[in-house]
Amino acid sequence: MGLSRLIDKRASTLRLASTARALTHNSPACQFRPRHLFRLSSPRNRSVSSRAQTGCGEVAACESGEVNNSTATGRADIRRLSSAATGPAAPRRPTPRGAPFSGSFGPTLLGSSNSSSNSSNRRTSHVRPLVPPYHRAPPTALRAFSSSAAAMVATKIDGTAIARKVRERLQAEIAEKKAVNPRFQPCLKIIQVGDRSDSCKLREKKNTPIPRYGTVQGRGARHADAQCPAATYVRMKLKAAEECGIACELIKFDESATEAELIARVVALNSDPAVQGILVQLPLPEHVSEYNVTSAVASEKDVDGFGTYNIGELAKRGGRPFFVPCTPKGVMVLLDEAGVDLAGKNAVVLGRSDIVGSPVSYMLKNADATVTVCHSKTKDLDRYLKDADVLVVAIGKPGFVRGEQLKPGVVVVDVGTNYIPDATKKSGQRLAGDVDFESASQIASQITPVPGGVGPMTVAMLLHNVVDAATQSFDAAKQRHIVPLPLKLLDPVPSDIAISRAQAPKPITQIAKEIGISPSELEPYGAYKAKVDLSLLKRLGHRRDGRYVVVTGITPTPLGEGKSTTTMGLAQALGAHVGRVTFANVRQPSQGPTFGIKGGAAGGGYSQVIPMDEFNMHLTGDIHAITAANNLLAAAIDTRMFHESTQKDAALYRRLIPVKNGKRTFSPVMLRRLKKLGIDKTDPDSLTEDEIRRFARLDIDPDTITWRRVLDVNDRHLRGIVIGNAPTEKGHSRQTGFDISVASECMAILALSTSLGDLRERLGRMVVASSKSGDPVTCDDLGAGGALAALMRDATKPNLMQSLEGTPVFVHAGPFANISIGNSSILADKMALKLAGTEPDEDPTSKAGFVVTEAGFDFTMGGERFFNIKCRTSGLVPDAVVVVATIRALKVHGGGPPISPGAPLHAVYREENVDILRKGCVNLAKHVANAKSYGVPVLVAINKFASDTPAEIDVVREEAIKAGAEDAVLANHWAEGGKGAVDLAKAVIAAAEKPKDFKLLYSLEGTVQERIEKIARDMYGAAAVEFSELAQKKVDTYTRQGFGNLPICIAKTQYSLSHDAELKGAPTGFTVPIRDVRMAAGAGYLYALAADIQTIPGLPTAPGYLNVDVDPETGEIDGLF
């Protein structure tokens, strides 16, 4: 019944009988064993059709669930099929023999060496399809062959056609992905050394590495007469790549190139995000180690697949190589396309090279074949060949395997590529495989020809690997997943340093990997901190920015209100608990406050940057670099004044531009000065006397020098000093002073620069004084701009650290908030926004991460400068503002007694007092109103203290919302880490989605005085501004010099909305006294000094350094807070 259904379903079934009869007639002993036409299926699948493949079609061999085990019935079935298949009208076609299997089907005939004569001992067989349906041919094309059939019996596995299909699929895949993401561009770089005319010749020495692709495969193989230069194969790759849409470039080196040069180029390509695949064309010259060069290729770009990692992973069961070697991969694709089911088959690999033999054996094993690896020295080789169901030959000897050595029905893959003499060919030679095709094709069921078999697949698989590499690269860029560190919360909460030390940080390389920073962009400084190269901004320039949140605060007390702690707690909540990629961007702390009264700035409790000691100390040396750059310029000013006063014009000019190698040459910075002076000359010897004088003499007026030396220490005694008192200075002394390093314009420039080039230009524009004729004298006039940029080059790279819960933190720049702009760097913000951003094909609403940055002190200081200076410069717009408030500070503004560091807190701060609190909320209301004036949603974060009561918290919420805040959320992140700020995080996400109507406080039109008054009136609540004579004079000078349209930074006390620290709450009607106005032309703003603000702090009676020490045994730092 099963056979009837089979005949009715497909007439091509008749070929089974044809095959049987043909084999019977062609066998001397009439020994027909048709079981090689089928393979066993799982007994659990009892109704599976099996098809025997031909060159252009397939037939159903059996559809019934079971086959009659009777010998007689078996013979009768075959006779019926055979008779039905005869007929002279049918066209003749050779019939393949299918794939072998262990087991039997039909009768056992005499002389069958591998079967039992007792049919009753055989199991019933189940068969299933062998090949996919694309090999089908129309029934009229199917016809059995007889003893006079054509010579070839096996079906050719057409590698050329399959490779063409692969390339077409790749072309379509690339086009499809480009349509979604235009940046998708697979790119392959091929490195070739010399012309390598010997790339298709094996070196005569045994075990010489064999060239890959289109060359003889096999250990020790030789063919000295072959002539097939590498250029041929490179052209094939280039052409195929171009057709598929892959960008492919050949990088050629001279034959004399050194190993170091090649490795350096490979390393550079490893670091290039636009390159997904690197291939080193072998062989390399004798003086270069092929192992060293190829091993330098990054595993994720090793599209050759022969790197240690990829081969090692391939050899492992369940290994995960990035790429599989191309020729072995091509072999497996050919077998798959031919419909060969390898599970349970005996697969013999003849050849043990690292290029084909070994890797293809791993792949066959992973496909559940039983694999035997043989080679030219294998004893009794014929026995293994006779047992092979699948044979892969890559031994490098032409015609080594012949048909009589093979098992009938074997599938043969010939990887050999040998050039043998052939007088009929124009070149005198032809390509031959390792298998004698004529004899083998009489026995095998399927076979790959040479050429046209494995060869075309090798290039196709290389292209496939390149496309896979590009896909992996693009997919990896999206897979940003932060693995949080668990917190073990203790009550009572230990000291900050104890908490930091108790948490084991993740290696900084792991943090970088989780957030999508490539190894080439990371510069580790120890195990837990690193710099990130600015090239990342270019690589991720296509991304939409993540969400941008700025954390500010109410007017603080000397104890601080936890703004840094809230910044860290919010970032930990978003990143470790809500599941958004989130960065905290904070300033680097100065050693002045760290060893003074304020302490460090890592946050506090369970919301910190770790390691805390590394964060609060030198970090990566950025502040030291700024100190060095600042003081170099200070030295250059006084040195130039000294030399100009002791030399005449000609002598000064000669010393400025000395003769080197018989010639004077202007340096690049000197050419800048010539351009500024309008002197269009490049030959130092061509300047006139007047031009020499103008060029050489800066003629600085000592009384106008604004540039001061800096030091990162609180030292009140450096506020006013006299320099130049040594006899060697010949009476050239003057009064000056020091600022703290973080108040240097160099620090502000670091914070406001948008690139290294921008930093260089800003440093050169810094005005340090005026000439006696009233012209501004710049850093570039002194010739120091380039040197300062060199000192600060590495400082431009943001520093990467982590929070207590393992979320990323950028620490970069640290300008003081009371005497400078008080914000971290634009570069860190831009970098974090890209890392937290979304790809063009991602949904920004659900996928966008967050960047939480902090603005120093209260909103009227750090927040106002964040908007009017930082955002004006960067072009970035925040999505939300968070104002941090504490009940303790609001009580101070409501009339509570003063708070002093080290002194016990008054009872009003430890007990509930709603009345004082409500009065103090006017300060909160003013800051909320100030923040809302910029058109951005505003939230209030109530930083919880243990003494806060529910009634007090309700008052703050009520007053905050009344003032216009979107919400006021209680946050307990100090005691609970990110867990305690989850509600705040959710409120921030909701606020960030709301529309914005962003606007700045003032335009740059009008006068300097008008801008200062705008800030004082609108932000502080002042009635008027009063300028001292000195301040007015400087404003007039800056305006005359062309600097009258710069933004404004007002340096004032942080303890009041006003200039007077004693005025609490939200004072009005006061006059702000401006005693001095200084210019930061490079940073791009003017800063006015209100009242008696100092630019270098002093130390208290009991400074913080009294508690700091080092454990001599462990090296751990104690006493930081």
Q: Is 612 exposed, middle or buried (0-12, 13-18, 19+ CB in 10 A)?
A: buried
Q: At what angle do helices 785-792 and 756-765 cross, to 10 degrees?
A: 140
Q: Give the 3-state secondary structure of residue 663.
A: strand
Q: Give the 3-state secondary structure of residue 500.
A: helix
Return the residue matching tokens 């609970």.
976
Tell which residue, 1028, 1029, 1025, 1045, has the closest CA to residue 1086: 1045
Q: Which of 281, 572, 591, 608 is catalytic?
A: 281
Q: Which of 156, 201, 237, 506 is catalytic?
A: 237
Length of the chain: 1121
What is the rounded radius of gyration, in angstroms, for the C-alpha atoms of the chain? 40
- d(CA 512, CA 185) in angstroms, rounded, equals 24
Q: Give the 3-state secondary structure of residue 881.
A: strand
CA distance readout (Å), 243 to 238, 343, 386, 1060: 9, 36, 42, 74
Tell which residue, 335, 338, 360, has the closest CA to residue 349: 360
For 672, list phi and psi in degrees, rounded to 5. Answer: -65, -45
Q: Where are the alpha helices (DSSP H) in 483-588?
A: 496-502, 508-515, 535-539, 563-572
Q: Would you call 329 a catalytic residue per the annotation?
A: no
Residue type, 785: G
Q: Which of 158, 304, 496, 638 is catalytic?
A: 304
The torsion angle over the Cα atoms of residues 591, 596, 600 and 604, rounded to 10 degrees, is 180
How many CB atoms lie under 10 A from the CB of residue 753? 25
Return the residue matching tokens 């208290």.
1100
The encoded tokens of residue 543 equal 């991304």
Return the residue matching tokens 């020790």.
220
Count of CA atoms in the C-beta half-sphere (13 A) of 45 = 10
Tell which residue, 315, 461, 501, 288, has the closest CA to residue 307: 315
Q: Would you call 304 a catalytic residue per the annotation?
A: yes
What lies within 8 Å, CB to CB, of 831 at 6+ separation is 532, 534, 536, 537, 798, 810
* Beta strand ranges found along 45-124 (DSSP E): 50-53, 58-62
Q: Residue 837 in contact with residue 850, Cβ under 8 Å? A: no
What lies within 8 Å, CB to CB, of 129 at 6+ separation is 48, 49, 50, 51, 58, 339
DSSP 700: B
Q: Would you call 237 a catalytic residue per the annotation?
A: yes
Q: Give the 3-state secondary structure of residue 65.
A: coil
Q: Residue 394 in contact with residue 401, Cβ under 8 Å? A: no
Tell which residue, 938, 869, 926, has the closest CA to residue 1056: 926
Name beta bridge partners: 697: none
Distance, CA of 203 to chain centre: 41
What lies within 8 Å, CB to CB, of 380 at 6+ separation is none
Tell which residue, 755, 713, 707, 533, has the closest CA to residue 623: 713
The encoded tokens of residue 973 equal 């992140």
Distance, first Cα to last Cα, the chain: 89
- d(CA 598, CA 186) in angstroms, rounded, equals 53
The encoded tokens of residue 1105 equal 């350094």
CA angle at 678 for the pair 676 and 682, rounded to the nearest 5°: 95
How many CB atoms lie under 10 A from the CB of residue 630? 26
Write out the H or E segment, with its range, that includes residue 992.
helix 982-992
The encoded tokens of residue 440 equal 């083998």
Question: Which positions are annotated as active-site residues?
Answer: 237, 281, 304
